[in-house]
Amino acid sequence: MLLDTPSLYFRAFYGVPESMTAPDGMPVNAVRGLIDMIATLVKTHSPTHLVAAMDADWRPAFRVAAIPSYKAHRVASGDEEEIPDTLAPQVPVIEKVLAAVGIASFGVEGYEADDVIGTLATAATQPVEIVTGDRDLFQLVDDEKRRRVLYTVRGIRNLQTVDEAWVTAKYGIPGRAYADFATLRGDPSDGLPGVAGIGEKTAASLITRFGSLDALLAAVGDEGFPAGARNKLEAARDYLAVAPAVVKVAHDVPIPRGSFEVPAKPHDPEALIALADRYGLDSPLNRLLAVLGKS
């Protein structure tokens, strides 16, 4: 099981009241919410291995160099992401809690959590479940390789299982073609413009007809190619030359060595007790430890 941790702690932050505070009054709603999410996931899905992927770089230079608008609307200042003031201090606490529990948690410099997930998922030899609220990771769905997404749009207790059939039913595209489809359509939430004049339905029909973005672009000059789409694709040649590298998650991130097995007991009990006392986390941590002890 691979966790898109930033997606989950943002969801926890907005889903759990800020009245959940540490003894000193610091909000810990995201911390508590994430701990309970992990407990629920382990209890209901019984993974043998678990990685909480982090953003070491939320806006990697290689993506910005290709498309400068990538996530530009979410920049607070410099290279800093715009993040709620009461969430920012909770992220280091989350990292400390995961480390003390013994759940593998890391980011890789120069990459997003999505890239860590993409690398681990494509290298895995066992079934993989990816927990995220981000549609970008639908590109990793592969029935043959037993990879699926558990989509959190309806909540952690009502996860939408995304496999190839679901992608086809939802978007009208081949089940493994989400990245090419998203490249054409664009994604305003990530600052990706897409091809001007080509919306979701046209993108879906083109990808379905030609099978892939590469095949589509190779056929643009062919007789019988839709004239309206041809003009729009020709006008977007520069964008289409660089966009796939931005949209597709990396599969070659240097992953640190370590055990990714679900821990049966805390890695650092003393540190965990100190964190529980400092931030008032006894209840959620006891729930998580009880689930881990049975896994």
Whole-number Å distance between alpha carbons of 101 and 282: 13
Beta-sheet strand order (sheet of 160-162): 104-106, 51-53, 2-4, 128-132, 147-151, 160-162
Place of tokens 């039913």: 169
Q: Read off the pLDDT of residues 67-76 as tens digits, 9 standing for 90 and up.
A: 999 999 999 8
Residues of the chain with CATH 1.10.150.20: 177-247
Residues of the chain with CATH 3.40.50.1010: 2-163+249-293
pTM: 0.96
Nearest to 1 by CA among 153, 167, 148, 179: 148
CATH architecture of the domain covering 2-163+249-293 = 3-Layer(aba) Sandwich (3.40)
Whole-number Å distance between alpha carbons of 210 and 218: 10
Whole-number Å distance between alpha carbons of 163 and 132: 14
Whole-number Å distance between alpha carbons of 279 and 132: 26
First to last CA, the chain: 13
Q: Read off the pLDDT of residues 74-120 as tens digits, 9 standing for 90 and up.
A: 998 888 899 999 999 999 999 999 999 999 999 999 999 999 999 99
In contact, 134 and 7? CB cutoff 8 Å? yes
Per-residue pLDDT at 295 exceeds 80: no
Nearest to 55 by CA among 117, 138, 129: 117
Q: Read off the pLDDT of residues 113-142 as tens digits, 9 standing for 90 and up.
A: 999 999 999 999 999 999 999 999 999 999
- Residue 190 contacts by C-beta under 8 Å, 6 or more apart in sequence? 70, 71, 136
The pLDDT, as a whole number, for residue 80 is 87
Classify 177-247 by CATH class.
mainly alpha
